[in-house]
Amino acid sequence: MDQIQVFLAISEAGSFTAAARKLNRATSVISYAIANLEAQLGVSLFSRAGASRPRLTEAGRAILSDSRGIALALDGLIAKARGLTQGLEAEVSLVVDVMLPAKRLVPALDEFARKFPSVSLRLRVEALGAVTQMVTDRLAAFGISGPLPVESDLLTRGPAGAVKLIPVAAPNHPLAQGKVSMARARDQIQLVLTDRSALTEGRDFGVLSVKSWRLADLGAKHALLLAGVGWGNMPKPIVSDDIKRGRLVRLDLESESDLSYRFHSLYRSDTPPGPGGYWLMERLSQS
């Protein structure tokens, strides 16, 4: 592992001398570690001849990605072990996607309060990429995020169930009566949840209409739907009571309209949650 760390330091710093300064070691020690690593692997990692700075060989480039993965895995293992030996954390900070139904969130938090009465809780609610951004920036120990095509070696992810999104509008809305063609749906204002972060900027989820209003708050979207301003997709558990009481109508769109909004848990691989946070993350991940 020490040799792999030296290899990564040279790759990042650009030279044996710079890596030695970064690791606070003699340059000769750095050279010796790389020579031993190359001997054990049976390949040359750097091309040193005829260049002022060492360059990765083809084999070195191929091994670099795996070396980073090994280093991250080791950091995660050490951090997890440290968390277990240090005992229960004083506070658990988490961020959840605004689409996560309250019927999943509230019982989990209630059980957490009874199981870990001495642990404080800091909860944030965000939309789309903002959940991942907060975890990446260390503003939350873990998150329950919606579907994101963003991959990172820094993050450990796991499945956390899904919620069905259904198209709804107020009873007096032009689309509320009978079968709705896609052409009619596109011609009406669609209320769309947008992102506060740059991770999913410019990406849309379930947008059909050419007329759309972008909202950063699900509560505002819900209020506008109830007021008859536009139509939109909403988590079924959030609007089921509105539909039952006649405040909203489920639209009968011409095409397949139901969307599955999948959740996943995520945390930084180098700083996994402590015992209380890990328990809560697992509890929230149960579908």
Q: Mean pLDDT over residues 255-269, rounded?
A: 82
Residue 207 has pLDDT above 70, yes or no: no
For 176-193, the pLDDT digits (tens) are 888 888 788 888 888 988
In sequence order, what are the beta bridge partners of 95? Answer: 124, 143
CB neighbour list of residue 181: distance below 8 Å, 6 or more residues apart: 254
Residue 258 scores a pLDDT above 80: no
Cα–Cα distance between 238 and 169 in angstroms, integer? 13
Secondary structure (DSSP) of 196-229: SSSTTTT--SS---SSEEEES-HHHHHHHHHTTS
How far apart CA 277 and CA 273 sit, in angstroms, is 5
3-state secondary structure of 259: strand
193 CB-contact burial (10 Å; exposed 0-12 / middle 13-18 / buried 19+): buried
pLDDT digits (tens, 9 = 90+) for 87-140: 678 899 999 999 999 889 999 999 999 999 888 999 999 887 889 989 999 999
Distance CA 174, CA 239 (A): 19
200 pLDDT band, cuts 50/70/90, is: low
d(CA 189, CA 270): 44
Query: Quick one: tokens of 183?
Result: 């052409």
- DSSP, collapsed to helix, strand or coil, labels residue 75 as helix
**CA–CA separation, 179 vs 252, rounded Å?**
5
Q: What is the DSSP string of 123-167?
A: EEEE-THHHHHHHHTTSSSEEEE-------TTEEEEEEEEEEEEE
Say which range, 23-37, 142-156, 194-208, has the weakest mean pLDDT.
Answer: 194-208
142, 144, 141, 140: which is closest to 127 by C-alpha? Answer: 144
Stated pTM of the model: 0.63
